[in-house]
Structure 1
């Protein structure tokens, strides 16, 4: 059995695994312990009282993080004519139609979001088995099937993220980088949590938000005191 690293020992000595942290205190503590050589992502995990195997308990949506994500989002757009020009002008990394479909079928899927105009869904539909497993399939409910591709690209580039509950009823999402100010991370935390709360499905019974924790890419997970989270 491998011995714990010096860093792991230090964290274990200084942190109480059972302590409930206020949001601001948790963010400050995580940044103190985030010692990786890269700019670690600060992440939120929310345990929800839902069973996503049932359609009326699915939680999924988009939220714009006020301080951005700190990540360069790669966006592909299926569009033609004026819409293609607008998507390109808005900063899309790749714009096309049949040519983009063939490129993706060949395995070129290095994108964080795929957007399409409604008239392109006949083409995009052929990519269901390719885009679906990666969570990239355009969806009108998420605003990724839209005639206003210009705004959709701008939203994606400026800090809009998707949240989606996983099999065990947990939502994971990054809310920024260690290099962000404490205030910006708090703004992003509040934006994400508020969006998830507003997305409470009709089939959710009992307590909806059961636990929230925050962590950094290489750091510990800290439990949040739900009493410090408005609306929970």
Structure 2
């Protein structure tokens, strides 16, 4: 049997018997228990009553967190000419066309968000098998296929989080750093839950949000009272 580290055991002890907490209580508990040597990320997981194998039950979208993610986001933009210049001026980390596609095909992916102008999609589409599994494929539904590259770059770097339901009906994302204030984290939690709730697909039947849980990168998870998570 694997030996449990003292830090892990101590953290788990603080969570024992605590379930269905309010957002504020859960955030306070996680901040208190976080003991890693780095600034851990607050992670959220939502179990939804959907089967994403059916097209009318797919859930995906984007949310602008009111207090950002605390993470430095590297942005790559597929564009040519004036739009490439606009992307560079707007702070994109990587800008290119065929040469950028070749770099990605070689396995070198040094960005966290990929944006493309519509005219570049025939080229970007060839990278679907590489970018798709990493949730990096530009998509007009979440604003990453656009002529307004300046706004898209600003959103990506300013705390925008994309979400997409996985096969098991779960959505998860990083929504801030444990070093944030309790109030800031609670606001981010509710913004994320609200965005997923609004993205409810037409094919969803019965209870849509079944469970919401929070955890830090290295810490145990705790379930939230769904009503508290959905409150404004």
In the alignment, which residue of structure 2 is the partner of 1:62? 62
| SS of equivalent residue, structure 1 residue 20 | coil
| SS of equivalent residue, structure 1 residue 47 | strand
**TM norm structure 2:** 0.96
Q: 2:170, 2:48 → 1: CA distance?
A: 6
In the alignment, which residue of structure 1 is the partner of 2:223? 223
Query: How do 1:154-165 residues align onto structure 2 when only pairs under 5 Å count?
Result: 154-165=154-165
Contact 1:63 1:192 in 2 (8 A): yes
Structure 1 ranges of 4+ moved more than 4 A: none
Q: Which runs of 5+ in 2 are unaligned?
A: none
| CA RMSD in angstroms, aligned pairs only | 1.4
**TM norm structure 1:** 0.96
| SS of equivalent residue, structure 1 residue 2 | coil
Label 1:95 to 1:22 Cα distance change in 2 as closer, same or farther (>3 A).
same
Residue by residue over 1:122-159, the C-alpha shift from the partner in whole angstroms, topping out at 9 and shown as x without a partner, is 21122122212212111111111101011101100101
| SS of equivalent residue, structure 1 residue 21 | coil
| SS of equivalent residue, structure 2 residue 47 | strand
How many angstroms does 1:89 deviate by?
1.1
Label 1:128 to 1:15 Cα distance change in 2 as closer, same or farther (>3 A).
closer
In the alignment, which residue of structure 2 is the partner of 1:75? 75
Contact 1:197 1:231 in 2 (8 A): no
| SS of equivalent residue, structure 2 residue 230 | coil
How many angstroms does 1:231 deviate by?
5.9
Residue by residue over 1:95-122, the C-alpha shift from the partner in whole angstroms, topping out at 9 and shown as x without a partner, is 0111111111111112111110011112
How many angstroms does 1:188 deviate by?
0.8
Q: Which runs of 5+ in 1 are unaligned?
A: none
Contact 2:84 2:95 in 1 (8 A): yes
In the alignment, which residue of structure 1 is the partner of 2:100? 100
Q: 2:28, 2:209 → 1: CA distance?
A: 23
Query: How do 1:14-33 residues align onto structure 2 when only pairs under 5 Å count?
Result: 14-17=14-17, 19-33=19-33
Give the number of equivalent residue pairs. Answer: 232
Q: Quick check: 1:166 aligned with 2:166? A: yes
Q: 2:213, 2:12 → 1: CA distance?
A: 17
Contact 2:190 2:231 in 1 (8 A): no
Q: Which shifted more, 131-140 or 87-96? A: 131-140
Q: Which shifted more, 133-142 or 11-20? A: 11-20
Label 1:231 to 1:51 Cα distance change in 2 as closer, same or farther (>3 A).
farther
